[in-house]
Amino acid sequence: GENVEQHPSTLSVQEGDSAVIKCTYSDSASNYFPWYKQELGKRPQLIIDIRSNVGEKKDQRIAVTLNKTAKHFSLHITETQPEDSAVYFCAATNTGNQFYFGTGTSLTVIP
């Protein structure tokens, strides 16, 4: 089955700096890659996703890039703000039936 690895496990940045979280996957058939943000005590929220026919997708301060050849995808957050502090999870699926999640990255934005 699919194996998704996520790095780093923790990340601290100064407010206004950029943050990058990387995930690798093992199954070349995976074709959908969502990112979730989970604040403490809250549900995971879908913040951005990318499909295998696209190399990059951007939504305001967040962007996701996908390298199918290398089988990795990354979340980029620019101009970070304290409210970006949360745990971020990547995931991968090729059927929509089984989602394989990364281990999570705890992001802290220091004011």
Contacts of other proteins in 6-65 (CB under 8 A)? 32, 34, 36, 42-46, 49
Amino acid type, 83: E
Of the pair 14, 60, the CB lying nearest other proteins is at 60
CA separation for the pair 19, 97 (Å, rounded) = 30
CA separation for the pair 8, 74 (Å, rounded) = 11
Find residue 48's DSSP bridge partners.
35
Amino acid type, 60: Q
Contact string (CB under 8 A) for other proteins, positions 72-111, x = contact: -----------------x---x--xxxx-xxxx-------
Q: Are 78 and 21 in contact (CB under 8 A)?
A: no
Closest distance of CB 5 from other proteins, Å: 11
Of the pair 17, 59, the CB lying nearest other proteins is at 59
Give the residues lining the site for other proteins (CB under 8 A). 32, 34, 36, 42-46, 49, 89, 93, 96-99, 101-104
